[in-house]
Amino acid sequence: MFVKGVLKKIMNNKKNNHQKSIAMISVHSDPLAKLGGNEAGGQNVYVSELSKRLGQMGWSVNIFTRLTRRRKKMVKTYGKNVNVIYLKAGPRYFIPKEKVLEFLPEFLGNFLSFTGENKRRYNIVHGNYFLGGWVASQIKRVLHIPMVETFHSLGYVRYYTTEKFGKENIDTEEFQKRIRVEKEIMQTTDRIIATNPPGVKDILQYYDFDLENKIKIIPCGVNLKRFRKINFGNARDYIKFSAKDKIILYIGRIERFKGIETIIHALPLVLRKLPGFAENLKIVIVGGKIGKRSNISDKQEVRRLSSIAKELKIEDKILFLGRRDPKKLRYYYSSSDVCVIPSYYESFGMTSLEAMRCGAPVIVSDVGGLSYVVQDRKTGLIFPPGNNKILANKIIKLLTNNKLKNKLVKNSEEMVKENYGWRNISSEIANLYQELL
């Protein structure tokens, strides 16, 4: 009986190992891309961190992403059991994600060619964003394997929100295509990972499907080793700022719907009430591909934001630093007096986790996942999106009320450590895969 039991266990282990191969589809978000430019942000981090943790847990993960430049190696090893595979789909250079949709059939064809030529078998396909979701849904149909989808953002919510603030027009063929594709994905996929309860509400409200049984809430995470609090003096020395400087920090992509102009409009109101801060108060903006090899859209947005600052006569108070190495961002977070995330729309808001983990007091707009992650007056402060007057008052509170600031920092650091480490979140997603198998 003992021998039979051992043999059965060995066979089960072999079976389980065979059933732990994942095709991770992230068409426009290369996990190896430099963050802060060319639409590289939260999805890149999500795919990167999740895949690395799954690989450490024994899953074999192949991340499929679009080829955007000439490469000597089309397959790149990325940690234990993880490979990034570049597939041709359209031109070999960056194009906005809105233009990638027409090249998805080519991406799918090259995926099937790769799997056939290399005799690869996958047990789960995980789509990311609606672009990766379309590809994943076709793979599910062709290979007859279970599918999981993480949308990262939803067309209805993104477009309606940004239209509300006069930032985008939703009456376009591009928008209608996206909605149709998202609905098809929801019908096809076996599970939808929503990163927060507001995300579930949005799916059920805007897409008119009986999808509750398909949806599982699993939040995004934060790299607890990479993002940690640095001694204030050491952090200021590293970023070459004086200890006397008062820093209002923004870290993220330079895009209009990120609401950066709200901070700029708030600054004169802050200075009016705190004239003593006039010499040392600065807005430090980290992100965007600017400089010699600038991205056109980033450059245009920086020019627009700079013109707003010039009209308000505070151009000397706004510093655009461009993107920084993700491993060094903790020095910027740890140096900030206030970290503001003023998005008009944000499906989750991973930056808020990074900031809180590094001991930065945060102020976030009351949208999507931000208002779920940050608890008002407990782990941060919340303001209505686009409302520069209320934002100014919140900034003033954190600059003048050390007791409140210290309370928020203490609570938020503990909250992030307990609830948002990638190890636990990856385990939840692995359990979801295992259920489908």
Residue 77 has pLDDT above 90, yes or no: yes
In this model, does residue 241 exceed pLDDT 80? yes
Q: What is the pLDDT of residue 5?
A: 41
Instruction: Say whether pLDDT at 2 is over 50.
Output: no
Q: Does one domain contain both 212 and 243? A: no
Cα separation, 362 vs 129, whole angstroms: 27
- Whether 334 shows a pLDDT value over 90: the answer reads yes
Tell me the C-alpha distance between 392 and 268, whole Å. 9
| DSSP 8-state code for residue 100 | T
352 in a structural domain? yes
Asked if residue 243 belongs to a domain, the reply is yes
Q: Taking the model in full, what pTM does it have? A: 0.90
Question: What is the number of domains present in the chain?
Answer: 2
274 and 176 housed in the same domain: no
Structural domain including 97 reads: 17-221+422-436
SS3 of the chain: helix, strand, coil, percent, to 5: 50, 15, 35
Q: What are phi and psi of 379, to 5 degrees?
A: -120, -5
Same domain? For 83 and 216 the reply is yes
Q: Kindly state whether residues 199 and 260 are assigned to the same domain.
A: no
- Quick: pLDDT tens for 195-230: 999 999 999 998 877 888 999 999 999 999 999 999
The answer, yes or no, to whether residue 171 has pLDDT greater than 90, is no
117: exposed, middle or buried (Cβ count in 10 Å: 0-12, 13-18, 19+) = exposed
- Asked if the structure places residue 6 within a domain, the reply is no
Same domain for 147 and 21, yes or no, is yes
Calpha distance 102→82 (Å, rounded):
28
CATH number for the domain spanning 239: value is: 3.40.50.2000
DSSP 99: G
pLDDT surpasses 70 at 75 = yes
> Do residue 241 and residue 346 come from a single domain?
yes
Q: Are residues 268 and 143 in the same domain?
A: no
Q: Within a domain: residue 4?
A: no
Least trusted range by pLDDT, from 10-14, 91-95, 258-262, 324-328: 10-14
Q: 132 with 237, same domain?
A: no
Q: What is the mean pLDDT of the chain?
A: 90
How confident is residue 427, by pLDDT bands cut at 50, 70 and 90?
very high
Assigned domain for 320 exists? yes
Confidence grade of residue 38 (pLDDT, cut at 50, 70, 90): low
How far CA 188 is from CA of 26, 181, 184, 304, 422, in Å, comes to 18, 11, 6, 41, 28
Residue 286 lies in a domain: yes
Is residue 51 assigned to a domain?
Answer: yes
6's enclosing H/E stretch is helix 2-18
CB atoms within 10 A of CB 362: 29
Q: Do 109 and 52 reside in the same domain of the chain?
A: yes
Q: CB-based contacts of 399: which residues, under 8 Å, 6+ apart?
A: 246, 270, 274, 277, 337, 338
| Segment 382-401 mean pLDDT | 97
125 and 185 share one domain: yes
Q: Are residues 298 and 428 in the same domain?
A: no
pLDDT above 90 for 289: no
Classify residue 153 by its DSSP letter: S
61: left (phi over 0), alpha (psi -120 to 50) or beta: beta
Task: Tell me how long the chain is.
Answer: 437
DSSP-derived pairing of the beta strands 21-25 and 82-87 = unpaired
Domain for residue 202, yes or no? yes
| Of residues 279 and 70, more confidently modeled | 279
For residues 182 and 252, state if they share a domain: no
